[in-house]
Amino acid sequence: MNYSEIMVRHGELSTKGKNRMRFINKLKRNIQDVLVPFPAITVRSDRDRTHVYLNGTDYQPVVEALKLVFGIQALSPVYKLEKDVPLLVLAVQNIMKSLYHEGLTFKIASKRSDHQFELDSCDLNRLLGGAVFEVLPNIQAQMKNPDITLKVEIREEAAYISYEEIKGAGGLPVGTSGKGMLMLSGGIDSPVAGYLALKRGLEIEAVHFASPPYTSPGALQKAQELTRRLTRFGGNIQFIEVPFTEIQEEIKNKAPEAYLMTLTRRFMMRITDAIRDQRKGLVIINGESLGQVASQTLESMQAINAVTTTPVIRPVVTMDKLEIIEMAQTIDTFDISIQPFEDCCTIFAPDRPKTNPKLSNVEKYEERFDVAGLVKRAVAGIVVTEITPEVINDDVENLIDDVL
């Protein structure tokens, strides 16, 4: 017997009053995005639940994918049956037989919301419990904390049976808190920052600065693969590649080496902010962590941040590097992040960048540049790509098996 659907219980959003349907619709769309690699699946939401109909798809990889989606509190794979007593008896017997081992305890928890149905929940518990004993005489019924609670629900349209409840990722559905621009390098920190932003319902667009030919196509691809990993938590993400070569060369030629990092960062911040404005985002997110490197002292952050009044969210600002690495491993971005491709910031990096840049100096050096023109050209040259979730490996393996 195969599961017919996965029942999704909504998370924190159930407290959101009037916005509830907006939240649910967003979650539904995110689930659909994430499940694109499973083309047979259909999704329907109502006020209390979202139903993921498997239509013959193997449930395990679907559960694995859904476990990551923000805004889901819990998941239950369920069997859908006709509301027919002999059929129910047979199904319950088969399920319990497939789960049985010595010493297993169980209970039947029935619920009847269709009051036309011939048996009430007490009758059902008794009848179905008895049917289990018929086929498994040694099994033990236990009302408190049994190993298996077999839930049987009789609803208007059908009967449902389930016994597994899997914890979801929690958080808010991606997109329900508005949109922000994630400054995504190829490093370890910014993908983690992106993940944490997604967790609280922010839709992110990934802004990546590339300086070809100093940075390689591999570095760009790495940033895109990191973005693809982030799509697991809430669906498709727009990836924005910014041409940064002209600016980096200008800075290299015109500014004192000690200020190169600060100036570079200020350009990045200005450009990200202009893209944000154009694309109607509300915040900027980056992977800065206090004290980690020269550009992340408070003095540096202040000098860099001075180019905008837009809120900048720094989700990993107070985390230790080891904590960030641990999280990167959990969310599966670490392996990609440590691939050795040079970032645009490291290629011209001075040996001794300024850790306490003075804003007055920074502004003086910037007089040597056509700041507005450089920003405008970079923004005009962006390339936007929609990144979608990867095809699940198991599927590909099954596909290969099928072909062979």
**Binding of residue 184 to ligand ATP (CB under 6 A):** yes
Q: Which is nearer to ligand ATP, 57 or 286 (CB)?
A: 286
- Distance (Å, whole) CA 285 – CA 368: 29
**Binding of residue 76 to Mg ion (CB under 5 A):** no
8 binds, among Mg ion, ligand ATP, none (CB under 5 to 8 A by kind): none
Nearest distance, CB of residue 338 and Mg ion, angstroms: 12
Nearest distance, CB of residue 79 and ligand ATP, angstroms: 45
Q: Which is nearer to ligand ATP, 119 or 293 (CB)?
A: 293
Nearest distance, CB of residue 360 and ligand ATP, angstroms: 23
Question: What is the Cα Rg of the chain in Å?
Answer: 27
Of 15, 29, 41, 36, whose CA–CA distance to 70 is shortest? Answer: 29
In this chain, which of 226, 345, 378, 387 binds ligand ATP, going by CB under 6 A? 345
Q: Per-residue b/e over 259-283, b at no fewer than 16 CB within 10 Å?
A: bbbbbbbbbbbbbbbbbbeeeebeb
Of 213, 345, 356, 210, whose CA–CA distance to 287 is shortest? Answer: 345
Residue 280 φ/ψ region, left for φ over 0, alpha for ψ in the -120 to 50 degree band, beta for the rest: left
In this chain, which of 293, 313, 371, 392 binds ligand ATP, going by CB under 6 A? 293
In this chain, which of 37, 187, 235, 281 binds ligand ATP, going by CB under 6 A? 187
Of 265, 227, 226, whose CA–CA distance to 248 is shortest? Answer: 265
Rounded to an integer, what is the distance from CA 388 to the centroid of its chain?
12
- Coil, helix or strand at residue 296: helix
Stretch that binds ligand ATP, among 73-81, 86-94, 147-155, 341-349 (CB under 6 A): 341-349
Asked if omega into 213 is within 30° of 0 (cis), the reply is yes
Stretch that binds ligand ATP, among 49-57, 128-136, 292-300, 391-399 (CB under 6 A): 292-300
In this chain, which of 30, 57, 162, 185 binds Mg ion, going by CB under 5 A? 185
Q: Exposure of 404 by Cβ count < 10 A (0-12 exposed, 13-18 middle, 19+ buried)?
A: exposed
Stretch that binds ligand ATP, among 73-81, 109-117, 187-195, 274-282 (CB under 6 A): 187-195
Nearest distance, CB of residue 191 and ligand ATP, angstroms: 7
- Coil, helix or strand at residue 235: coil
325 binds, among Mg ion, ligand ATP, none (CB under 5 to 8 A by kind): none
Q: Which two tokens stand for residue 309?
A: 């009044």
E strands within 293-347? 312-313
Q: Which is nearer to Mg ion, 341 or 365 (CB)?
A: 341
- Distance (Å, whole) CA 14 – CA 19: 9
Strands 49-53 and 42-45: antiparallel
Q: Which two tokens stand for residue 393?
A: 């490996």
CA angle 53, 55, 59 (to 5 degrees): 70
Q: Which residue is nearest to ligand ATP (CB)?
A: 187
3-state helix, strand, coil in the chain (%, to 5): 45, 20, 35
In this chain, which of 45, 159, 160, 189 binds ligand ATP, going by CB under 6 A? 189
287 binds, among ligand ATP, Mg ion, none (CB under 5 to 8 A by kind): ligand ATP
63 binds, among Mg ion, ligand ATP, none (CB under 5 to 8 A by kind): none
In this chain, which of 71, 187, 191, 281 binds Mg ion, going by CB under 5 A? 187
Size of the site for ligand ATP (CB under 6 A): 19
**Binding of residue 287 to ligand ATP (CB under 6 A):** yes
Backbone angles phi, psi at 256, to 5 degrees: -65, 145
288 binds, among Mg ion, ligand ATP, none (CB under 5 to 8 A by kind): ligand ATP
Binding site for ligand ATP (CB under 6 A): 183-185, 187-190, 207-209, 286-288, 292-293, 295, 343-345
Binding site for Mg ion (CB under 5 A): 185, 187, 343
